[in-house]
């Protein structure tokens, strides 16, 4: 089983076919960065059209059992998520609405301070806000997973401890391996995993040691060290693949409508575009390289199978439905 818990590609039939060639059974796709509720609904509509156009390649995923259905029928199940809480605007009632529409992950922040928490680019982290605590409770109730991939340290630790259900960092790496702003320090990963949560490892070059020149061996050794530190069962892949996207999309991701200036983020001050992917992972056909690399570190077949998809499958099964009342 292969599950990728974060992609934001420029979707096309070519990419859907590459998913099938790579044996990718499920992908969590970003359908909102800075969109408001109505704009996000339009993105749901866009995906509905793709499900109609390519019914032999992709299907909508809402529950872990949909991954079983996708595997049985040779398709990829698509799960939706937001990289910002902007789709719920300032209305807690929209949490249940977006879950009903099919959203299964929502980041509490995207780099900046939000109504809910602090992003990793802010100089001061004030933690989870009053509204943030109420929204986490509601997300727990309906089965919308708290994602802290772009959040600051204190906010992430507080979210992991406050949430009554496990949370996720869907796409990041360990800070000790590559000290990027977006990568996660030991105390942060520990707080998430000790509360039952998941860390998905990112292939986005700004998050990698040696960036685009990162080797497969280095990446897989980082995962193997994390397995020793935090337990293999809490680890998966969240590639952050942004395949075929124009550089203008980076500007939308980082700037949205909140600034009139270019926010270069973790990239070069003169190159705000997408960096080249490492040669061993350029698209969905290359997941087998990661599997091979993980085996070479000495991880068992069962451990590798968990990291490649089995752990996310269990997490989906446990956390996408309404909270048990018992």
Identify the pLDDT of residue 269.
43
- Domain at 95, CATH number: 3.20.20.140
Q: Is the pLDDT of residue 319 over 50?
A: yes
**Mean pLDDT (the chain, rounded):** 95
For the chain, what is the domain count?
Answer: 1
Q: What is the mean pLDDT of residues 131-145?
A: 98
Q: Is residue 324 part of a domain?
A: no
Q: What percent of the chain has pLDDT over 90?
A: 89
- Residue 325 belongs to some domain of the structure: no
For 2-42, write each residue's pLDDT tens digit. Answer: 999 999 999 999 999 999 999 999 999 999 999 999 999 99
- Please tell me the predicted confidence (pLDDT) of residue 268: 45
State mean pLDDT over 166-189: 97
Residue 101 lies in a domain: yes
pLDDT in tens, 165-175: 999 999 999 99
* Predicted TM-score (pTM) of this structure: 0.95
Distances (CA, A) of 99 to 57, 81, 146, 150, 260: 24, 10, 12, 21, 32
**Which residue range is the domain that position 100 belongs to?**
3-319
């Amino acid at each position: 089983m292969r599950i990728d818990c974060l992609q934001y590609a420029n979707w096309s039939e070519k990419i859907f076919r590459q998913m099938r060639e790579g044996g990718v059974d499920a992908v969590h796709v970003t359908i909102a960065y800075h969109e408001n509720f109505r704009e996000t609904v339009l993105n749901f509509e866009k995906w509905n059209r793709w499900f109609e156009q390519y019914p032999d390649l992709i299907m909508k995923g809402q529950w872990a059992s949909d991954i079983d259905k996708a595997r049985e029928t040779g398709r990829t199940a698509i799960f939706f998520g937001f990289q910002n809480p902007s789709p719920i605007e300032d209305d807690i009632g929209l949490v249940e609405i977006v879950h009903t529409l099919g959203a299964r992950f929502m980041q509490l922040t995207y780099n900046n301070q939000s109504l809910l928490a602090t992003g990793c680019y802010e100089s001061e982290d004030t933690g989870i806000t009053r509204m943030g605590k109420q929204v986490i409770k509601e997300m727990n109730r309906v089965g919308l997973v708290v994602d802290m991939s772009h959040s600051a340290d204190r906010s992430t630790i507080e979210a992991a401890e406050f949430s009554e259900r496990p949370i996720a960092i869907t796409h990041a790496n360990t800070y000790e391996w590559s000290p990027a702003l977006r990568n996660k320090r030991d105390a942060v990963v520990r707080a998430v995993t000790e509360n039952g949560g998941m860390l998905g490892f990112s292939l986005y070059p700004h998050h990698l040691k040696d960036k685009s020149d990162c080797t497969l061996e280095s990446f897989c050794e980082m995962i193997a060290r994390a397995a020793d530190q935090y337990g293999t069962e809490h680890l998966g892949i969240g590639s952050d693949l942004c395949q075929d996207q124009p550089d203008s999309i980076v500007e939308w991701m980082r700037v949205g409508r909140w600034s009139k200036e270019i926010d270069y983020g973790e990239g070069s001050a003169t190159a705000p575009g997408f960096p080249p992917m490492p040669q061993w992972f350029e698209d969905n056909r290359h997941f087998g390289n990661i599997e091979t690399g993980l085996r070479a570190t000495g991880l068992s077949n069962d451990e590798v199978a968990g990291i490649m998809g089995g752990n996310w499958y269990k997490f989906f099964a446990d956390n996408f439905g309404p909270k048990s009342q018992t």
